[in-house]
């Protein structure tokens, strides 16, 4: 490519030669005349080829006119949360507990800090924690991940999901997303030039139409994202679902991203069927999980990702330049805390008691429900009360009755209205009692 400097030299030489042609006594005059013309031509070159412009102030409109996420607006969580605070509403919308974590875990973090573990952790995570994670997965799902090169500690599951997408999705790659879906998947796909291909769950039971899923698979399908237990529906993918998924993906070279952040919150004796349990799925899968969800410490933002070494190698290339490493003393504490398996195996009973308390309390209400199979969310069907849009009802419930929930149309294709509101029951009993009273009087 011709540089600015080479163009300038060529133009200058041309003007000097022209000056000599008119005689020696006019050389100087022609030279300076040529210089002025040269400057004009160089400026024109800059404006034409370099797209160089000067501004007297920052033109933000010009910068944002080419937004990488032009269609992304304020999330429903922020909108509802802001409205709930404004009206001092009981907040069952946000997916976090309002009770404290185990004092033992907090003490272990303090011990780690006082023991001097306050500098950078290794890029893939503290090895002691990765070893315990590997043992946990092998015990529960009969699949061993090498802690050295197949497990990475992450800044929550969201970072794990974003990193896996960024490592593999490029311009034009298609990613199958099952809707309703948590809202972090699609922006990550778009930022990396990919295209989300949607499969809508059936309402009101939120089952997968596998024939529709099969039709969406093509040679452009680079990745499939699943979430089990599922937010917002509370459904879990059965063994039959996972076997069907395995059969449909087996002839492809597609990656599976399995969002399993609620892996330890399963009810009524059901089983969490992790993608790591199925050989053909495990060979193509990123398993993303969250200690924040499991141990009531969502503000710590710590989770992990497990995948075959070949996939994890690419994952870590992105991870090391995005965050490099994760909170060191918390990793040390979790490595100790996880050695007592009761800390996560008894979580099912803990949350089932809260789910049952909430549902027993609203039996006298006009809301209908199918008990959640997993997560700490419960969908309530309000069709016996009104047929209005869920966002409208959700707003009215906050403003007039001081109770916040999440309308799930925000997560459906084209905002399909299922006449459902999502409530989080990971709350203290007195909080749930106040919510129950409002719902029964609605």
Question: Mean pLDDT of all residues in the chain?
Answer: 91
Mean pLDDT is lowest, of 9-13, 61-65, 74-78, 252-256, for 9-13
Structure confidence by residue, pLDDT tens digits, 305-323: 999 999 999 999 999 999 9
For the chain, the domains span 4-54, 76-97+350-440, 103-344
Mean pLDDT over 340-348 rounds to 97
Task: Extract the tokens encoding 66.
Answer: 């080419």
pLDDT attached to residue 323: 96
Rounded to whole angstroms, the Cα distance separating 47 from 181 reads: 46
Phi, psi of 257 (to 5 degrees): -105, 110
Structure confidence by residue, pLDDT tens digits, 126-146: 999 999 999 999 999 999 999
Nearest CA-CA partner of 257 in 301, 306, 213, 208: 306
DSSP string, 264-324: T-B-TT-----GGGSHHHHTTEEEEEEHHHHTT-GGG--EEEE--HHHHHHHHHHHHHHT-
- Asked, colleague to colleague, whether 76-97+350-440 and 103-344 share their fold, the answer is no
Rounded to whole angstroms, the Cα distance separating 121 from 34 reads: 63
> For residues 243 and 278, is the Cβ–Cβ distance under 8 A?
yes
> For residues 210 and 200, is the Cβ–Cβ distance under 8 A?
no
Per CATH, is 76-97+350-440 categorized as 3.30.70.330?
A: no
Structure confidence by residue, pLDDT tens digits, 174-198: 999 999 999 999 999 999 999 999 9
Per CATH, is 103-344 categorized as 3.40.640.10?
A: yes
Mean pLDDT over 75-91 rounds to 94
Give 39 or 386, the one with higher predicted confidence: 386
Q: Is pLDDT of 16 > 50?
A: no
Give 305 or 54, the one with higher predicted confidence: 305
Q: Is pLDDT of 47 > 60?
A: no
Give 5 or 32, the one with higher predicted confidence: 32
* Residue 37's pLDDT band (cuts 50, 70, 90): low
Rounded to whole angstroms, the Cα distance separating 234 from 241 reads: 15
């Amino acid at each position: 490519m011709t540089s600015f400097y080479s163009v300038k030299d060529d133009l200058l030489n041309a003007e000097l030669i022209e000056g000599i042609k008119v005689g020696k006594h006019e050389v100087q005059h022609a030279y300076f005349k040529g210089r002025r013309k040269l400057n004009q031509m160089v400026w024109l070159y800059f404006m034409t080829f370099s797209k160089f412009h000067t501004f007297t102030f920052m033109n933000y409109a010009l910068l944002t006119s080419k937004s990488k996420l032009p269609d992304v607006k304020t999330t429903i969580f922020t909108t509802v949360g802001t409205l709930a605070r404004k009206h001092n509403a009981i907040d069952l919308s946000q997916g976090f507990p309002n009770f404290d974590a185990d004092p033992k875990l907090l003490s272990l973090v303090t011990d780690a800090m006082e023991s001097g573990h306050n500098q950078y952790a290794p890029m893939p995570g503290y090895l002691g924690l990765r070893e315990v994670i590997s043992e946990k997965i092998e015990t529960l799902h009969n699949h061993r991940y090498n802690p050295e090169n197949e497990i990475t500690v992450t800044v929550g599951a969201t970072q794990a999901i974003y990193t896996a997408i960024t490592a593999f999705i490029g311009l034009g790659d298609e990613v199958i997303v099952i809707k309703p879906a948590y809202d972090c998947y699609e922006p990550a796909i778009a930022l990396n030039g990919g295209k989300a291909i949607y499969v809508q769950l059936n309402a009101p039971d939120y089952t997968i139409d596998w024939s529709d899923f099969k039709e969406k698979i093509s040679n452009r399908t680079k990745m499939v994202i699943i979430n089990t237990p599922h937010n917002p529906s509370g459904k879990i993918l059965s063994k039959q679902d996972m076997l069907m998924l395995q059969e449909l993906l087996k002839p492809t070279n597609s990656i599976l991203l399995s969002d399993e952040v609620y892996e330890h919150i399963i009810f009524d004796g059901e089983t969490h069927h992790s993608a790591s349990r199925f050989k053909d799925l495990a060979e193509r899968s990123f398993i993303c999980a969250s200690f924040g969800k499991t141990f009531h410490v969502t503000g710590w933002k710590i989770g992990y990702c497990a995948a075959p070494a070949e996939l994890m190698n690419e994952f870590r290339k992105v991870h090391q330049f995005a965050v490099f490493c994760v909170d060191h003393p918390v990793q040390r504490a979790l490595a100790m805390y996880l050695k007592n398996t009761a800390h996560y195996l008894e979580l099912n009973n803990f949350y089932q008691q809260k789910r049952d308390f909430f549902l027993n309390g609203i039996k006298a209400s006009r809301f209908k429900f199918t008990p959640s199979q997993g997560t700490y969310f419960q969908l309530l069907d309000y069709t016996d009360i009104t047929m209005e849009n869920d966002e409208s009802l959700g707003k009215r419930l906050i403003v007039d009755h001081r109770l916040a929930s999440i309308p799930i149309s925000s997560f459906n294709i084209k905002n399909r209205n299922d006449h459902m509101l999502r409530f989080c029951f990971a709350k203290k009993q007195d909080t749930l009692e106040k919510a129950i009273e409002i719902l029964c009087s609605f």
